[in-house]
């Protein structure tokens, strides 16, 4: 199971078919000297770690239209055994080249069989090598419920890529995958397990979080379709994060002549998903245009504020935190800072807000300071 951006494919960078060993030299920028790609991942505590992203096999029987690993595409495939992959990772880990691992796979002999190999690899890491670090485990399309539970007992995070926001779009992108039964169902099981079972038997006594990813801009899906599905994933299936991966064409795939997506679209989707997940906005409040897309040129929080706060600005000295967080330029830290400061004195000037770390350039058109709109900034142009 793979998607854009393509998981760094260890198998393509090593001659593993001849069982070669890895020369664990690390360059100063944290990458192996022989070119094995290493990514950065940000942990829930904000700490960034280096991560080896790899596949147990780059062979795949599915034919996803955007994917370089799709069946029938002519390139050299490579496959690890679970033992070999676990051993290889531990060598890299002991060499201090990485601090964690992201395990994925192409689908070979069905999703269940491929998932077994990923779980076996994770079992070997946790049991044989007593590895206690970060382990992101991919769920294969068609995985079974007991496999989801086993994966959750071993992983720090699990994910399954939906790729498209609904069944119709998925058919145009990955015709051999079933949206509801193969992709959504495992996420439902993961949430059921989190709600109904104690995680005390897990490697660290915690259930892992779930994430997913969409390919953006390959099959004409609208932002509304993507954000609407994202909203359900956050609210109903408790996903920690949804990733949006802008489409880039890959040679010798059915979509090789389809244009690459504008990176701003990806950015606006992330901003909108944070508004839904962290800022109390609803789907109906997203500033979609009549075609169901977000404005590329404007931050969606600013677009919402222009339509809702320009004539009805928010009084900084009286607003509840749920109102303050809706003001552009004010995040959760800014809200705390305002609430703390106004206990002691009224906020009457933009300079006071600046001292609290507020992005006043974005906020000033939508606020009142002690009943007055802040003075407009003088332009020298
Ligand atoms: S399942 Fe689809 S996306 Fe995953 S590796 Fe196979 S062809 Fe690529």
Q: How confident is the model at residue 43 (pLDDT cuts 50, 70, 90)?
A: confident
Does residue 302 register a pLDDT over 50? yes
User: Cα separations (Å) of 25 from 22, 29, 187, 340?
Assistant: 9, 12, 39, 50
pLDDT digit string, tens, across residues 66-81: 999 999 999 899 999 9
Does residue 243 register a pLDDT over 60? yes
Average pLDDT over residues 231-235: 97
Cα of 279 vs centre of ligand 1, distance in Å, is 34
Strands 100-104 and 48-55 come out as: parallel
Specify whether 201 is located in the same domain as 328: no
Nearest ligand 1 atom, CA 67:
8
- What residue's CA is closest to ligand 1, atom 3? 2
Whole-number Å distance between alpha carbons of 189 and 33: 41
Specify whether 201 is located in the same domain as 339: no
Cα of 65 vs centre of ligand 1, distance in Å, is 9
CA nearest to 125, candidates 115, 113, 114, 137: 137
The answer to whether residue 162 sits within a structural domain is: yes
Average pLDDT over residues 96-107: 95
- Residue with structure tokens 């609208």? 222
Whole-number Å distance between alpha carbons of 250 and 26: 30
The answer to whether residue 303 sits within a structural domain is: no
The answer to whether residue 221 sits within a structural domain is: no
pLDDT digit string, tens, across residues 254-279: 999 999 999 999 999 999 999 999 99
* CATH number for the domain harbouring residue 134: 3.20.20.70
Q: How confident is the model at residue 379 (pLDDT cuts 50, 70, 90)?
A: low
Specify whether 199 is located in the same domain as 330: no
Specify whether 56 is located in the same domain as 189: yes
Q: What is the mean pLDDT of the chain?
A: 89
The answer to whether residue 153 sits within a structural domain is: yes
Specify whether 183 is located in the same domain as 314: no
Least confident piece of the model among 40-44, 137-141, 345-349: 40-44
**DSSP state for residue 296 in the 8-state scheme:** S
CA atoms within 13 Å, Cβ hemisphere of 92: 31
Least confident piece of the model among 1-10, 13-22, 366-375: 13-22
**Domain final residue pick, 214, 235, 264:** 214
- Confirm or reject: Cβ of 174 under 6 Å from ligand 1: yes
Cα of 177 vs centre of ligand 1, distance in Å, is 10
- Confirm or reject: Cβ of 107 under 6 Å from ligand 1: yes
Specify whether 73 is located in the same domain as 191: yes
Pocket test for ligand 1, best of 3, 102, 105, 215 (most atoms within 8 A of CB): 3
Does residue 142 register a pLDDT over 60? yes
Specify whether 62 is located in the same domain as 187: yes
Does residue 8 register a pLDDT over 80? no
The answer to whether residue 325 sits within a structural domain is: yes
Pocket test for ligand 1, best of 59, 63, 64, 160 (most atoms within 8 A of CB): 64
CA nearest to 116, candidates 87, 137, 147, 145: 147
Q: How confident is the model at residue 44 (pLDDT cuts 50, 70, 90)?
A: low
Pocket test for ligand 1, best of 107, 118, 186 (most atoms within 8 A of CB): 107
- Beta-bridged to residue 372, according to DSSP, are 369
Pocket test for ligand 1, best of 2, 105, 164, 254 (most atoms within 8 A of CB): 2
Q: Which of the listed ranges 27-36, 39-48, 120-129 does the model predict with the highest average pLDDT?
A: 120-129
Whole-number Å distance between alpha carbons of 117 and 365: 56
Does residue 34 register a pLDDT over 60? no
Specify whether 78 is located in the same domain as 194: yes
pLDDT digit string, tens, across residues 325-334: 999 999 999 9
Q: Which residues contact 10 (CB under 8 A, 6 or more apart)?
A: 36, 37, 52, 53, 54, 55, 88
Average pLDDT over residues 203-228: 97
CB neighbours of residue 89 within 10 Å = 26
Containing 301, the helix (H) or strand (E) segment is helix 300-308
Dihedral through CA 169, CA 172, CA 173, CA 175, nearest 10? 110
Whole-number Å distance between alpha carbons of 249 and 236: 33
The answer to whether residue 79 sits within a structural domain is: yes
The answer to whether residue 194 sits within a structural domain is: yes
Q: How is the beta sheet containing 241-246 ordered, strand by strand?
A: 39-42, 48-55, 100-104, 134-138, 157-159, 209-216, 241-246
Provide the number of structural domains found in the chain: 2
**Domain final residue pick, 180, 214, 248:** 214
- Confirm or reject: Cβ of 2 under 6 Å from ligand 1: yes
Cα of 43 vs centre of ligand 1, distance in Å, is 26
Supply the pTM of this predicted model. 0.88
The answer to whether residue 122 sits within a structural domain is: yes
**Domain final residue pick, 214, 243, 263:** 214
Specify whether 209 is located in the same domain as 317: no
- What residue's CA is closest to ligand 1, atom 4? 1
Average pLDDT over residues 203-210: 94
Specify whether 91 is located in the same domain as 205: yes
- Confirm or reject: Cβ of 183 under 6 Å from ligand 1: no
Structural domain boundaries enclosing 57: 10-214
């Amino acid at each position: 199971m793979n998607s854009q951006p393509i998981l760094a494919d260890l198998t393509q960078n090593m001659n593993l078919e001849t069982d070669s060993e890895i020369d664990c030299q690390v360059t100063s920028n944290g990458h192996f000297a022989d070119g094995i790609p290493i990514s950065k991942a940000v942990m829930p505590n904000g700490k960034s770690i280096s991560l080896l992203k790899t596949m147990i096999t780059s062979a795949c029987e599915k034919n996803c239209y955007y994917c370089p690993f799709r069946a029938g595409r002519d390139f050299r495939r490579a496959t690890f055994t679970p033992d070999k992959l676990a051993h290889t990772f531990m060598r890299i880990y002991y060499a201090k080249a990485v601090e964690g691992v992201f395990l994925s796979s192409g689908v070979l002999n069905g999703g269940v069989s491929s998932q077994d190999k990923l779980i076996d690899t994770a079992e070997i890491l946790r049991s044989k090598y007593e590895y206690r670090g970060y382990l992101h485990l991919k769920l294969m399309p068609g995985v079974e419920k007991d496999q989801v539970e086993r994966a959750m007992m071993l992983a720090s995070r699990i994910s399954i890529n939906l790729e498209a926001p609904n069944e119709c779009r998925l058919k145009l992108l990955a015709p051999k995958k079933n949206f509801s039964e193969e992709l959504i169902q495992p996420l439902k099981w993961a949430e059921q397990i989190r709600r109904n079972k104690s995680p005390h038997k897990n490697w660290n006594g915690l259930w892992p979080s779930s994430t997913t990813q969409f390919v953006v801009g390959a099959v004409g899906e609208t932002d509304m379709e993507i954000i609407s599905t994202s909203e359900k994933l956050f609210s109903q299936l408790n996903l920690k994060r949804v990733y949006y991966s802008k489409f880039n064409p890959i040679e010798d795939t059915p979509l090789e002549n389809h244009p690459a997506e504008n990176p701003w679209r990806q950015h606006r989707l992330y901003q909108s998903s944070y508004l839904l997940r962290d800022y109390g906005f609803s789907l109906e409040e997203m500033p979609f245009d009549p075609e169901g897309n977000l404005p590329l040129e404007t931050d969606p929080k600013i677009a919402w504020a222009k339509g809702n706060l320009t004539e009805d600005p928010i009084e900084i000295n009286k607003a509840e935190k749920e109102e303050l967080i809706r003001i552009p330029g004010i995040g959760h830290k800014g809200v705390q800072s305002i609430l703390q400061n106004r206990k002691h004195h009224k906020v009457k000037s933009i300079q006071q807000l600046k001292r609290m770390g507020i992005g006043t350039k974005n906020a000033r058109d939508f606020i009142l300071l002690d009943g007055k709109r802040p003075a407009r900034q003088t332009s020298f142009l």
